[in-house]
Amino acid sequence: IAFGGGGALDTVIPGLTGEHFAAQTVDALHAVLADFDPRRYAPQACRAQAERFSREQFRGKLLDYLADVVGDA
């Protein structure tokens, strides 16, 4: 469960790995918590989504980007 803004928009997929709440208010958070059922989310999907943001993924993508930018310089 995360506020629907910033990095959470990339990491939390509503209905698959978690839920967003639209307003940063007690009422909005209460509403999403009241409806939350952890059995709706497959642990494998949550893990796969989290692994997209691992150190290894970050390092690999950064090195690929740098190789593209720097090239043979």
The full length of the chain comes to 73
Tell me the C-alpha distance between 65 and 13, whole Å.
26
Question: pLDDT tens digit string along 45-58?
Answer: 999 999 999 999 99
* Token pair listed for 47: 């893990």
The alpha-helical segments, DSSP class H, found in 14-54 are: 26-35, 43-51
Is the per-residue pLDDT at 35 higher than 90?
yes
Residue 17: alpha-carbon gap to chain centroid:
8
Confidence of residue 36 (pLDDT cuts 50, 70, 90): very high
